[in-house]
Amino acid sequence: MRKAFVLVAPVVLFIFLFTVVPCALSQKPIIIGAPLSTAFLYGWDAERGIKLAVEEINAQGGVNVGGKKFPFKVEVIDTRDLEPGVPVSDALMAVEKLILEKKADFLIGGPVRSEAALAAMDLLGKYKRVSILTTGVLTPRYHARVEKEYDKLKYCFRIHGEAGQLVKEIMACFKEIQEKFNLNKVFIMVQDVAHARGGGEILGKVAAKQGWTIDGTEVYPTGTTDFSMGLLKAKKAGSQILNIWMDMPESSILLKQWYELQIPALPFGSTLAAAEQPGFWKATEGKGEYTLCNVVNAGNAPSEATEWTMKFYDAYTKKWNIEPEGLGSSSSYMAVYTLKDAIERAGSIDSGKVVDALEKTDMMGVYGRIRFNPKNHQVIPALDPKEGAVGTILQWQAGKRVVVFPKSIAMGEIKLPPWMKH
């Protein structure tokens, strides 16, 4: 008996080591680290988008890596970088924790604030972790750094629009407004954070070159709750458009005050987190009607940009019991599918191979054709979803978010508030 045990035991052990253990290991998930400022719109909308995509992909069997299927697993960490004071060091610690403690294979999402994302690039380069930014970070410096320091920062991708592209879209929309309503005076209101300051500055220069009068620029610290003096300045100057770059929730206060003071200028948010959310109507008790805002990519408001747009929109609404809310919803969802596609084409989760595969990405997604510029890893934008990642500008009309730009996906026309009609 003992002799039989001595003979059988090694065989059993051999079988266990070489069959059962690898089998168990094959179930080891691919970990997606999501560094997000979860208490804020651009954090929680991205988290929901990522989790929805992961759930769908896992339900279909997971990711095919060289013939074996692996599930995705999401590890979310709160970076807090959208809080007043912009605690960049907290965000960096969060990113490092995801890589070292949570063993994240890839990062999707943030950091959300441009300052924090720029600072995190060196960490991503150091640990050679592929990251796809999906929310918040609009600074053109991000992809400019990738291009300049390609060998070190080639792991950094951004799958949503950036400030330069936003300005182009806004200017095209401004042109429509100019032609339709004969408006040509702009007052710029920006939050004191990198992407907003940068965006406001670029828009001011471009608009001035195109013949618009820039009546002034007002910079507000994060957390400001009183905008009345700035609004009065705009009114005094005779401004006709308020161009707003703010992602703080307090921006809804600005719109309430705009209504209460009946400022005769059309509010046009470039990033205006408050107005992106379906809850904006309730939060402003309808006072935010006529507010325009850019939600960066299609799918964050209802439209028929591609066949996938409303499928995503409905799935998100069903899963989270709320419509896609902010600029990070569709891009975060799409980033997971893009990563899946790249891993499957690479046949590996090796960072270098996945970078190569991501550079060759060409797929039709929720907001159009998804391709990255291989030199700077910025998603290629377009006004037509067949050509590239298409943006979306919506306007609040009678309690609904109506897509009004670009024309290729518009669901309605831009309207002026009654106190602006002469």
Partner 1 sequence: MEILIYGTINSIALALMALGFALVYGISRIPNFAHGAIYVVAGFITWTFLKVVGLGYFLSALIAILVTGILGALIYRFMLIRVRGMAISEIIASYAIGLAILEGLRWGGFKGMTYTLPVFIAGSVTLGGVPVDIHRLLLIGIGVAVIALLWLFTHYTRIGLALRGMAQDERAALMLGIDSDRMALLATAFGSMLAGLAAIVLLPLGNIVVEAGYNVLILAIAVCIVGGLGSWMGAVLAAFLIGFAQILTVVYLGSHYQMVVALLAIIFTLIMRPSGLFGRQKELEERV
Name the segment binding partner 1 (CB under 8 A); options: 175-183, 255-263, 368-376, 395-403: 255-263
Q: Looking at beta carbons only, is 379 or 394 nearer to partner 1?
A: 394
Least distance CB 327 / partner 1 (angstroms) = 15
Exactly one of 1, 23, 25, 229 binds partner 1 (CB under 8 A); which one? 229
Neighbours of 163 (CB within 10 A): 27
Least distance CB 413 / partner 1 (angstroms) = 27
Least distance CB 390 / partner 1 (angstroms) = 27
Q: Looking at beta carbons only, is 44 or 174 nearer to partner 1?
A: 44
Exactly one of 58, 64, 228, 408 binds partner 1 (CB under 8 A); which one? 228
Q: Looking at beta carbons only, is 66 or 84 nearer to partner 1?
A: 84
CA distance 299 to 85: 31
Measured in whole angstroms, the distance separating CA 416 from the mean position of its chain's CA atoms is: 28
Least distance CB 39 / partner 1 (angstroms) = 5
Exactly one of 155, 187, 280, 337 binds partner 1 (CB under 8 A); which one? 280
272 touches partner 1 (CB under 8 A):
no
Exactly one of 250, 303, 354, 396 binds partner 1 (CB under 8 A); which one? 250
Q: Looking at beta carbons only, is 83 or 304 nearer to partner 1?
A: 83
Nearest CA among 45, 19, 18 for reference residue 34: 45
322 touches partner 1 (CB under 8 A):
no
41 touches partner 1 (CB under 8 A):
yes
Name the segment binding partner 1 (CB under 8 A); options: 60-68, 270-278, 398-406, 411-419: 270-278
SS3 at position 191? strand
Nearest CA among 360, 341, 370, 359 for reference residue 154: 359
Contact 342/83 with Cβ under 8 angstroms?
no
* Edge-to-edge order in the sheet of strand 156-158: 72-78, 30-36, 106-109, 130-133, 156-158
252 touches partner 1 (CB under 8 A):
yes
CA dihedral over 107, 294, 251, 140, signed as positive or negative: positive
Name the segment binding partner 1 (CB under 8 A); options: 13-21, 36-44, 117-125, 158-166: 36-44
Q: How many residues of this chain interact with partner 1, rule: CB under 8 A? A: 40
Site for partner 1 in 338-377 (CB under 8 A): none
Residue written as tokens 């709320």? 322
Site for partner 1 in 51-110 (CB under 8 A): 83-84
418 touches partner 1 (CB under 8 A):
no
Nearest CA among 97, 105, 95 for reference residue 63: 105
Helices (H), 128-268: 141-148, 150-153, 163-181, 194-209, 228-237, 251-260
Contact 139/194 with Cβ under 8 angstroms?
yes
187 touches partner 1 (CB under 8 A):
no
Contact 309/366 with Cβ under 8 angstroms?
yes
CA dihedral over 158, 159, 160, 162, signed as positive or negative: positive
Q: Looking at beta carbons only, is 235 or 345 nearer to partner 1?
A: 235
Question: Residue 182: left (phi > 0), alpha (psi -120 to 50), or beta?
Answer: left
Interface contacts to partner 1, rule CB under 8 A: 39-41, 83-84, 192, 218-221, 223-230, 232-233, 235, 249-253, 256-257, 260-262, 273-274, 277, 279-280, 282-285
